[in-house]
Structure 1
Amino acid sequence: MTSEWLLFWVGDGGDPSSDGLLAGWEHLAERERVLGLRERQPILVAPDGRVDARLSECFRRSAFSAKAEGTQVTYAPLYRLFFTFLWQRGAHWDQATPDDVEDWEDWRRRGSDNAARIAGGTWAKELAALKLLYDIAAKRGFVPASPVLLTAPTDVKTSDVKWLTPRAFRLWRNVGLGGTLPSGLEDQAWRGRCAGRDSAFADLLYSSGLRRREGGTLLTFELPPLGERNYYAGRVGQAVAKRAGYTFYVGHPALARIEGYRASTRALAVARARARGVYERLPGRRVVRDVNRAGRVRWTERDGRAGEGALGLLTAADRMRLFVETEDGLEPAMLWLTESGLPLEHATWTKVFERASTRCARLGLEVFATPKMLRHSMALRMLIALHNALDRRLGLTPDQRRHYEEVYGQVWLMVKGMLGHRSEQVTRDVYLEPVRGLQLESLLNDDDNPVNAEKIAELAVRTGLVLDAA
Structure 2
Amino acid sequence: MLSPNCQVDGRLSQFLARSSFSRLEPESKRNYTTDYCVFFDFLWVRGKNWDEATSSDLWDFEDWRTRSIRNPEKVGGARWNRGLAALGRLYSWAVKQQYVSVSPIETREAIGRHGQIVEVPAARAKDARSSNVRWLTPRTFRRWVDVGLRGFSADGVPDAAWAGRLADRNSAFANLLFSSGVRLTEGASLLTLEIPNLTMDERRYYASRLAPVVTKSKRARTFYVASPVVGEIETYCESTRAASIRRAQRQGRYERLPQLRLVTSVSGHRMKVLHWRDRDGTVGKTALAQAGVEERALLFTEGPDGPEPLWVWLNESGLPFQPSSWEGIFRTATDRCQKVLAKTIAEPPFCTPHMCRHSFALYMLVVLHHVMDVRLGLTPQERRDFLLLYGDPWRMVQDLLGHADVETTRKIYLAPVSDLQLHSLIATPGRASDDSTDSAVDDVSWILAQLAAETSRIQDLRDDWAVL
Q: Same-fold call, TM > 0.5?
A: yes
Q: Does the 8 A contact of 1:434 with 1:466 survive in 2?
A: no
Q: CA deviation at 1:284?
A: 0.8
CA distance in 2, matches of 1:207, 1:418: 11
1:60 aligns with 2:18: yes
Q: Secondary structure at the residue paired with 1:154?
A: coil
Could you say if the C-alpha distance between residues 410 and 399 of structure 1 is closer, same or farther in structure 2, counting changes exceeding 3 Å? closer
1:410 aligns with 2:392: yes
Could you say if the C-alpha distance between residues 342 and 66 of structure 1 is closer, same or farther in structure 2, counting changes exceeding 3 Å? closer
Alpha-carbon RMSD across the aligned residues, in angstroms, is 2.6
Q: CA deviation at 1:376?
A: 0.7
Number of equivalenced pairs: 427
CA distance in 2, matches of 1:250, 1:395: 27
CA distance in 1, matches of 2:38, 2:308: 38
How do 1:269-288 and structure 2 match up within 5 A?
269-288=244-263
How do 1:184-203 and structure 2 match up within 5 A?
184-203=156-175
CA distance in 2, matches of 1:66, 1:359: 37
How do 1:53-452 and structure 2 match up within 5 A?
56=14, 60-62=18-20, 64=21, 68=25, 70-110=27-67, 114-149=71-106, 150-227=122-199, 228=201, 229-244=203-218, 245-293=220-268, 294-363=271-340, 364=342, 365=345, 366-391=348-373, 395-397=377-379, 401=383, 409-437=391-419, 438-443=421-426, 447-448=433-434, 449-451=439-441, 452=444
1:457 aligns with 2:442: no
Q: CA deviation at 1:184?
A: 1.1
Counterpart residue identity of residue 198, structure 1: N
Q: Does the 8 A contact of 1:460 with 1:468 survive in 2?
A: yes
Q: Could you tell me which residue of structure 2 aligns to residue 51 of structure 1? A: 10
Q: Secondary structure at the residue paired with 1:99?
A: helix
Q: Does the 8 A contact of 1:357 with 1:369 survive in 2?
A: yes
Moved more, 181-190 or 104-113: 104-113
Q: CA deviation at 1:137?
A: 2.4
Q: Secondary structure at the residue paired with 2:207?
A: strand
Q: Secondary structure at the residue paired with 1:330?
A: strand
Q: Secondary structure at the residue paired with 1:347?
A: helix
Q: Could you tell me which residue of structure 1 aligns to residue 110 of structure 2? A: none
Could you say if the C-alpha distance between residues 382 and 208 of structure 1 is closer, same or farther in structure 2, counting changes exceeding 3 Å? same
Q: Secondary structure at the residue paired with 1:239?
A: helix
- What's the CA shift string for 1:33-74, capped at 9, x where partnerless? xxxxxxxxxxxx933x3422x762586354x46655543442
- What's the CA shift string for 1:423-455, capped at 9, x where partnerless? 111111221235413352422576343231111
Consecutive unaligned residues of structure 2, counting only runs of 5 or more, are 107-121, 463-468
Q: Secondary structure at the residue paired with 1:335?
A: coil
- What's the CA shift string for 1:197-224, capped at 9, x where partnerless? 1100011000000111111111111111
Q: Secondary structure at the residue paired with 1:143?
A: coil
CA distance in 2, matches of 1:148, 1:297: 45
Could you say if the C-alpha distance between residues 87 and 181 of structure 1 is closer, same or farther in structure 2, counting changes exceeding 3 Å? same
CA distance in 1, matches of 2:375, 2:448: 22
Moved more, 91-100 or 364-373: 91-100
CA distance in 1, matches of 2:416, 2:18: 41
Q: Does the 8 A contact of 1:58 with 1:133 survive in 2?
A: no
Q: Secondary structure at the residue paired with 2:308?
A: strand
CA distance in 1, matches of 2:306, 2:256: 14
**TM-score normalised by L of structure 2:** 0.84
Q: Does the 8 A contact of 1:297 with 1:308 survive in 2?
A: yes
Consecutive unaligned residues of structure 1, counting only runs of 5 or more, are 6-44
Q: Secondary structure at the residue paired with 1:325?
A: strand
Q: Does the 8 A contact of 1:197 with 1:336 survive in 2?
A: yes
Moved more, 78-87 or 394-403: 394-403
- What's the CA shift string for 1:138-180, capped at 9, x where partnerless? 2443321110124212333515311111110000000000000
Could you say if the C-alpha distance between residues 224 and 404 of structure 1 is closer, same or farther in structure 2, counting changes exceeding 3 Å? closer
CA distance in 1, matches of 2:283, 2:329: 37
Moved more, 399-408 or 288-297: 399-408
Moved more, 435-444 or 287-296: 435-444
Could you say if the C-alpha distance between residues 3 and 168 of structure 1 is closer, same or farther in structure 2, counting changes exceeding 3 Å? closer
Moved more, 106-115 or 144-153: 106-115
- What's the CA shift string for 1:83-121, capped at 9, x where partnerless? 343344333322211122123223333455644322222
CA distance in 2, matches of 1:271, 1:367: 36
Q: CA deviation at 1:409?
A: 4.9
**TM-score normalised by L of structure 1:** 0.84
- What's the CA shift string for 1:380-432, capped at 9, x where partnerless? 11122223334578541468547866568532222111111111111112212
Could you say if the C-alpha distance between residues 464 and 346 of structure 1 is closer, same or farther in structure 2, counting changes exceeding 3 Å? same
Q: Does the 8 A contact of 2:129 with 2:411 survive in 1?
A: no
Q: Does the 8 A contact of 1:266 with 1:337 survive in 2?
A: yes
CA distance in 2, matches of 1:105, 1:397: 53
Q: Secondary structure at the residue paired with 2:242?
A: helix
Q: Secondary structure at the residue paired with 2:365?
A: helix
Counterpart residue identity of residue 343, structure 1: P
CA distance in 2, matches of 1:57, 1:160: 31
Could you say if the C-alpha distance between residues 203 and 58 of structure 1 is closer, same or farther in structure 2, counting changes exceeding 3 Å? closer
Q: Could you tell me which residue of structure 1 aligns to residue 458 of structure 2? A: 466
